[in-house]
Amino acid sequence: MSPEARREALVQAAIRVIARGGVAAATTRAVVAEAKMPLGAFHYVFTSRDELLSEVVHTITDGERMAAELALLEGAGLEATVAAALASYLDLLIADPDRELALTELSLYGLRHDPALARRQHQLYFLEMEAVLRQVAERCGIRWTEPLPELARRLIVVTEGITGTWLADRDTDAARGVLRAVAAWVAASAERVDA
């Protein structure tokens, strides 16, 4: 198994362990057992548990950003394009709630034990959302009428709220309704760029 494949297998195992038992359960021994690897395999590709946890955050958020970018519609209006990107996030949440539960667990763990970790995690969320919003602007020929970091922050607050609420009630129709309203709000935060 290549080092890259081993890292990915350990990240996926860590996600499952964290979703099942929280961050405290994600010891290196528990993660390698979940991945069906010897303990030495962990230290071959990660220098520490903290590095693994950071990689979990990056892996999940990169996947969310890529899904949103792939969902952007060619030739569609701004509101439809934003709605498609937001729907892709909800679809990921529905398809694999454990991934988002693991991110939530990591955020709460950071708040309790390492506030700098929680700040870095959320900073990554903001940067990923800014990247998606830049793609939307380019694809739709618009510019945002408010600072991109502020718009990205508001959208992260919304997606975190959707995540927690959906994990609690699994009301997909309600979540989709909220995201449609958010798409309209985001579309109202833009203006056309003259060609």
Of 54, 13, 59, 4, nearest in space to 32 by CA: 13
Give the chain's mean pLDDT: 93
The pLDDT of residue 69 is: 85
User: Average of pLDDT values for 5-23?
Assistant: 96
Query: How many of the other CB atoms lie within 10 Å of CB of 20?
Result: 15
The pLDDT of residue 83 is: 95
The C-alpha atoms of residue 130 and residue 194 are separated, in whole angstroms, by: 22
Q: Is the pLDDT of residue 48 over 80?
A: yes
Domain boundaries, the chain: 54-192
The pLDDT of residue 45 is: 95
Domain at 54-192: CATH architecture: Orthogonal Bundle (1.10)
Which amino acid, residue 120? R
Q: Which two tokens stand for residue 123?
A: 């900073």
User: Average of pLDDT values for 80-106?
Assistant: 93
Kindly indicate the confidence band of residue 36, based on its pLDDT and cuts at 50, 70 and 90: very high
